[in-house]
């Protein structure tokens, strides 16, 4: 094997190992931005809605946290921990098990929507569209 062939093989191996790690970090960053945005955009009355945003890998999870339990300070840290060992090409979820979260998101015949998810998705889509244009900071999701 020539030196050039050996170098090419080593380079292929480095990319094979580095790409999934980089992709996993990118996935985690987007997930954490989405979670933070949903928390920040949540209407606050008792704090229960904000308190119940959660992260999971592979399965949405959907554990409901009771009123009065404060998780706001640990939600992002908990999410980072959940995402740490995920498959680079796996699926992660940002979810909220409270039934009234969908009423706030979509509105009702008697209540205007107070969306959290739609603006978050729009911000991430805009940010991702700008990545290829060299404007990753512009329109950066929350």
Gap between the Cα atoms of 92 and 55, Å rounded:
7
Gap between the Cα atoms of 51 and 38, Å rounded:
11
Residue-wise pLDDT tens digits, 92-108: 999 999 999 999 999 99
User: What percent of the chain lies above the pLDDT cut of 90?
Assistant: 43
The answer to whether 141 and 37 are in contact (CB under 8 A) is yes
pTM score over 0.85: no
Range picked from 3-12, 60-69, 93-102 for highest mean pLDDT: 93-102
């Amino acid at each position: 094997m020539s030196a050039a062939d050996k170098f090419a093989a080593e380079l292929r191996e480095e990319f094979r190992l580095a790409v999934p790690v980089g992709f996993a970090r990118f996935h985690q960053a987007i997930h954490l931005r989405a979670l933070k945005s949903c928390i920040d955009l949540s209407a606050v009355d008792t704090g229960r809605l904000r308190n119940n945003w959660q992260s999971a890998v592979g399965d949405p999870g959907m554990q409901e946290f009771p009123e009065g339990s404060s998780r706001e300070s640990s939600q992002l840290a908990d999410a980072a921990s959940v995402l740490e060992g995920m498959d680079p090409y796996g699926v992660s979820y940002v979810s909220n098990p409270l039934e009234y979260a969908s009423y706030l998101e979509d509105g009702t015949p008697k209540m205007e929507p107070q969306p959290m998810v739609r603006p978050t998705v729009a911000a991430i889509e805009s940010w991702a569209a700008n990545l290829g244009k060299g404007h990753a900071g512009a329109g950066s999701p929350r």
